[in-house]
Chains A and B, each alone.
Chain A
Amino acid sequence: MEDMTDKPNLLGWTCPRPLQHYPTIVMGHGAGGKMMADLIEHLFAPAFDNEWLSQMGDSTALELPAGKTAFTTDSFVVSPLFFPGGNIGELAVYGTVNDLAMRGAKPLYLSAGFILEEGLPMETLGNIVTAMAAACKKAGVKIATGDTKVVQKGHGDGIYINTSGLGVIPAGVDIGPANARPGDVVLVSGTMGDHGIAIMSVREGLTFETEIQSDTAPLNGLVEAMLANAMDGHRSPSHKSKKQGGHAPFGDLSAGPPLPTIHCLRDATRGGLAAVLNELAGSSKVGIEFDERKVPIRPEVNAACEMLGLDPLYIANEGKLVAILPEEMAGNVLAAMRRHEYGKEAAIIGGVVSEHPGLVTAKTSIGGMRVVDVPAGELLPRIC
């Protein structure tokens, strides 16, 4: 689909003149000399242009708001680098943004470390960097510092990207994997398995009537909307009037007792929904029960999984989250999610129970019950 307005135009990148002598990355681009300076000056700096990056020191001086800071890191290795619905650059930005958002943090700054393989076409790098810049804009974060290394041909897979991120956690927000309580409900923000199947269909040359797109997306906006509505349900009238009086979205809540809020958030990346639910059940020492039929799954993803002998509950997502929260705020939060562009197909899929702590069970389509365990390792297609 070329009409995705929020996607950067990957055909539009033209190599800046000083880089034109080298149609591909060579060892010199990581050697710290003139070539590396050219790469930074003409590629990275203009794309990510901001006051922190342009300090060009060995490190960047930041001013962070008061309160708790969330800090995370993630590395991105994906083949192919460009896939239906996304690319490694967007993944590298959104992956870290989402990890920050899953603590309820507002993501502010990222670092970006590039490991480039000798021979990587300059145009590919240009397109990835352009996509990252657009992704940063969309997620409202700045790449404040960066690094580039070049490894010899054959020692990398084109490009690896590491991003770390800093975000500020609003006062009163306490989201963590150990916070689920019996009686809570479990929500997902949309269809499961899109990203993993999009990647797999490109890798394996599988084609379907409709191309399966990765769901790569920044979830910080969705989380912000969820938090605002979770709290609204519980805010006393005086708090409400405070908010209406022009305070920040979360207000200054540090003075009063902690407000009931969303208990757990996780983005359902590697290992899919099954892995996330197991982690949360384990960390919170509770049981989780859900209804398979309530988990949104695209028909084409389901079909691909049937064909490959895979279970969509175990397939990776890159723009979907799992939320666990008190039942009384579920209606409000679900409505807010469905109003948001990345939560239109959000659904309540189950709940938290005190029985069988650490274990996740699913009601099956025929009305049976099964245990949904963590995947052992790499997902392996079945033989027949």
Chain B
Amino acid sequence: MKYIDEYRDADLTRKLLADIKRTITRNWTLMEVCGGQTHSIIKSGLDQMLPPEIELVHGPGCPVCVTPLEQVDKAIALASRPDVIFTSYGDMLRVPGSTRDLFAVKAAGGDVRIVYSPLDALKIARDNPGKTVVFFAIGFETTAPANAMAVLQAKARGLTNFAVLVSHVTVPAAISALMDSPDVRVDGFLAAGHVCTVMGFWEYEPLAEKYKIPIVVTGFEPVDLLHGILKCIKQLEAGTHTVENAYERSVSREGNKPAQAVIRQVFEMTDRAWRGIGIIPLSGYRLRPEFAPFDAELRFPEVQTIETKESPLCISGLVLQGRKKPSECPAFGRECSPQTPLGATMVSSEGACAAYYRYGRYDR
């Protein structure tokens, strides 16, 4: 496939690997921030082809994985209401809440529908005026513009039966939180190419400076990833710490300004809980007060008092911070598998545990 196969080329891969091997002189730990990158690394077998000096740790950038249990339980409560049609991206449906997941709600008669875009949820709202259509607005800066646009459109069209359950998070705040934690062991970051496509990479420049750490904006195909890794290793070996762009075909320093404007118009920064990590100050978006009528939590205030209960076995928080590998979890592959996930990292195809389970089992 054009513009894909070129970035999965075996010869280019070999050449880049050779460059990396020539450059590296000591051990380095890199964190790929985005779950899509984790997925691609494991799926292509890249992790096993890198020189042993490089350790890749998997970052918190899986939107499904970091959505807090509280929000999942709220989603389940909303979806169980007979007057609600609950719409969501597909991979949220199998994320375990405190007692069950959205698939179980659907099986019990809840109207839960998978959509590919929040605009599909708007269409459902238009076609079902007697019900409130709630869209589960999760994700990083990547999904935020489309979700913001859905709210704007609902307002413009006077769709009063549309609401969103917001659980948006942002990458720079997560990087700060990771670097501030006492046992951080990351030498360099591969920043998430899709997030930077929207937001640009100027936000990362103060972070690279503050923490003296190289940050390389990196794409998702194997050749993209190797290109990013090579740039990062070169910086580490040279002792520099700047922000570099290894995904130039998609990312500019300023990013997509109209998309950023839409985000700013609809959302404002807020403290957010990250599943497995805890509350990170100013790490997410919530609706601005003028869009309160579209806030599902205000429309159904009873969901705000839900009590949550996380599995005591699951170490997904440590996995999301790169402090443990999925295979170091005692429940991995035993109590916890994609069929019976204890934590969200085992659910999403972008989750590190699911990626390890699906593609890496041969190693164990």
Contact = CB atoms under 8 A, between A and B. Distances in A.
Contact of A370 (B9, B44, B89, B223): B44
A306 B4 CA distance: 9
A367 interface: yes
Contacts of A306: 1, 4
B48 A369 contact: yes
Contacts of B90: 380-383
Nearest to B43: A370
A383 B89 contact: yes
A4 interface: no
Contacts of B114: 380-381
A356 B364 CA distance: 11
B284 interface: no
A384 interface: yes
A224 B48 CA distance: 43
Contacts of A204: 116
Contact of B94 (A367, A370, A371, A380): A380
A306 B36 CA distance: 12
A297 to B, nearest CB: 10
Contacts of B348: 382-383
Contacts, number: 109
A303 B44 contact: no
B48 A384 contact: no
B24 interface: no
Interface string A223-255: 000000000000000000000000000000000
A356 B361 CA distance: 10
A364 interface: yes
A366 B360 contact: no
A371 B140 CA distance: 29
A309 interface: yes
B361 A382 contact: no
Nearest to B339: A376
B138 to A, nearest CB: 7
A302 interface: yes
Interface residues of A, number: 28
Contact of B36 (A308, A373, A384): A384
A86 B38 CA distance: 38
Interface string A209-230: 0000000000000000000000
Q: Which of A204, A361, A366 has the most CB of B within 10 A?
A: A366
Interface string B108-139: 00000010100000000000000000000011
A365 B44 CA distance: 7
Contact of B10 (A309, A367, A369, A372): A367
Nearest to A383: B89
Nearest to B12: A366
Contact of A366 (B13, B36, B349, B350): B13
A383 B88 CA distance: 9
A384 B362 contact: no
A299 B1 contact: yes
A274 to B, nearest CB: 10
Given A204-B116, A366-B44, A368-B44, A381 B89 contact: yes
A366 B11 CA distance: 8
A377 B139 CA distance: 23
B300 interface: no
A370 B357 CA distance: 11
A59 to B, nearest CB: 36
A366 B361 contact: no
B45 A384 contact: no
B362 A383 contact: no
B4 A384 contact: no
B359 A371 contact: yes
B93 A376 contact: no
B80 interface: no
A359 interface: yes
Contacts of B92: 383
Contacts of A371: 358-362
Interface string A316-333: 000000000000000000
A206 to B, nearest CB: 9
Interface in A341-384: 356, 359, 361, 364-373, 376-378, 380-384
Contacts of B339: 376-377
Interface in B6-53: 8-10, 13-14, 36, 42-46, 48-49
B91 A381 contact: yes
A384 B10 contact: no
Given A366-B13, A376-B338, A376-B339, A382 B350 contact: yes
B362 A359 contact: yes
B8 A361 contact: no
A299 B337 CA distance: 32
A370 B116 contact: no
B362 A366 contact: no
Interface in B172-204: 194
A351 B348 CA distance: 30
Given A364-B43, A366-B13, 18 more contacts: A366-B223, A368-B45, A368-B48, A370-B44, A370-B45, A373-B357, A373-B358, A377-B103, A377-B338, A381-B89, A381-B90, A382-B89, A382-B90, A382-B348, A383-B139, A383-B348, A383-B350, A384-B36
Query: 10 closest pairs, A vs B, by CB?
Result: A368-B45, A376-B338, A380-B90, A366-B13, A383-B89, A365-B8, A370-B359, A381-B90, A380-B91, A366-B222
